Structure 1
C-alpha cells in the first residue's frame, strides 16, 4: 500500500482490545501502517487478513505473538512440530497482508554441551525454518534486542544473528526502551547495528515503554542515528498508557512522529 510516510503503531499498545478494533483505531488516527501483535490464534491465521483489510491500514509488520512465545522456544518434540506449523501459518498471514517484517526475540543460549544439544538445537532449528519460510515470500525476520541475554548489546545482538548463519533475511530490530534497560544509549545501539526495523518508545528512570516524547530519550540524537534508515517508524508504548482516550492519544502519537521525522520518513 502506497503511503507518503512510514509511521506505524503497534496493536500491542491497545491491548486488551481486539486486533481488528485496534487496527481500525490506528487507521482513524491517521496512520497508514500498523504492527500487528496477535493476541490469539485467530488473529494469526491467514483468514484474519480479511478483517485486517477492512480497517484500510497496511499491516507493515507482525510481532510473533508474546502469548505464543513458549511455542517457538520449546524443545519438546510435540511442541516443536506445533511451533513449525504455527510459524508457517503466521508467514502465510504476512504474505496475504503484504507484510514486510516478522519480529521475534533471541532464544536463550546454552553453554553446557548437553543442554545445547537437547534444549537449544531444536529451538535454533525452529528459528532457521521460520527464516526459510520468510525468505520464500520475501519477508524480513527481524531479531529484536533484549535487556537480558545475548541481545542486550549491539555486539551481542549482531553476534547472535551471525550465529544463525549467512541468511540475509535475518536482520536486527531495535527497541529504544530495551536499549535503555540494558544501559545503552538508543542512538548508539542504532548506529552500531543499522537496524531493519524499529520499536520506538520512551524511558525515564524505572518507567519503561512510555509514549515517545514523554520521557528522557534524546529523540534528536535518535533521529540523527537513523540517517539512511529505510524501514518503518513503529511506536510500541506500553498498553496501560492507552487504556482510556485511545483516539486522542493515538493522534498525539502520530503528531510526535510527524514532528520529529518530517521529511525523513
Structure 2
C-alpha cells in the first residue's frame, strides 16, 4: 500500500507539502483544478522534477469544479470531456499512479433527463483515453448526484471494465451511514485500486482528520493490510491533520 495526502484539502503549499511527504514517506494527490485555475503553479514537467528530487510520487484528482460529464448541455459536456482528457495527459506526464474521477450530476431529476445523463456519462467513459489507471469515485452526497446507489456504480463499472474504483470512506458514511464504507468495499473490492480517507460525523462531508468522526478506523486498518494500491488522505487540519491521520493508520 502506498499512502499519500491531498495538499489541496489540507491547505498546504507545495513546498510544505513536499517536505512533509518526503519526511513521512507519502505521495501527493494533485488537484488538477488548481493547476487549471492558477498559472503560478508548476507545470507537469516541473512538478515531475520536484517529485523526483524529493522522492515523492503522485496521484491526480481529475477536474470536478465547474465540470460535469453527465451534463445535458452539449457545450458543457464537451468542455468537461476535454478538460478530463487534458488532466489525464497531465497525470501521465507526472507519472501518477492513478487518476480519480467523479461521475457527474443532474439537477433536473426527470426520468428522461436521468436516462440521457447516464448515456452521456457512459459515452464520455468510452471516449476517454487514460494515460494512467482511472478510478471512479463514489459520491451520493447531494440530491443532484447522478448515481444515487452503490448498485448504480457497480453496473457502471461492469459496463466499463477498463476502469477501476476509488472508495471514499467519508462519502460512503454520509450517504449510507456507518456500514456505508463496508457496503461499497464488499461490492467493489475486486475493482478497488485507490482510497480516499477522511472523517466526518455522518451528516456532512467535513473532511476531518482520521479519528475525529464516526468512520470505523479499526475496520479500515484491517482491510488495508492486504491492499496493494494507493490511499490518499483528504483531511483538513494542515500539517498536524496529516500527521495525526498517518499515525492512526500506521498503528499496529
TM-score interval for Structure 1 and Structure 2 normalised by the shorter chain = 0.7 to 0.9
Q: Is the CA contact (8 Å cut-off) linking 1:49 and 1:96 kept in structure 2? A: yes
Matched with 2:212 is: 214
The offset of 1:145, in angstroms, is 1.0
Q: Is the CA contact (8 Å cut-off) linking 1:201 and 1:211 kept in structure 2? A: yes
For residue 41 of structure 1, the aligned residue among 25, 36, 41 is 36
* CA offsets 1:78-102 (integer angstroms, 9 cap, x no match): 3444333322221111111111211
The offset of 1:41, in angstroms, is 0.7
Change (3 A) 1:108 1:84: closer
Matched with 1:125 is: 123
Alpha-carbon distance in structure 1 between the residues aligned to 2:17 and 2:72: 34
1:31 aligns with 2:25: yes
SS at match of 1:180: helix
Matched with 1:53 is: 49
The offset of 1:153, in angstroms, is 4.0
The range that moved more, 39-48 or 84-93, is 39-48
Alpha-carbon distance in structure 2 between the residues aligned to 1:233 and 1:115: 32
Matched with 1:187 is: 182
Structure 1, unaligned stretches of length 5 or more?
A: 261-265
The offset of 1:227, in angstroms, is 5.1
1:252 aligns with 2:244: yes
Structure 2, unaligned stretches of length 5 or more?
A: none
Aligned pair count reads: 238
SS at match of 2:232: strand
Q: Is the CA contact (8 Å cut-off) linking 2:31 and 2:61 kept in structure 1? A: yes
- 1:223-262 alignment runs, 5 A limit: 223-226=221-224, 228-237=226-235, 239=236, 241-242=237-238, 246=239, 248-259=240-251
For residue 154 of structure 1, the aligned residue among 150, 153, 157 is 150
1:141 aligns with 2:134: yes
Matched with 1:177 is: 170
SS at match of 1:143: strand
Change (3 A) 1:111 1:101: farther
Q: Is the CA contact (8 Å cut-off) linking 1:46 and 1:96 kept in structure 2? A: no
SS at match of 2:227: coil
- 1:21-100 alignment runs, 5 A limit: 21=15, 23-38=17-32, 39-41=34-36, 47-55=43-51, 56-70=54-68, 72-100=69-97
SS at match of 1:198: strand
TM-score when normalising by structure 1: 0.75
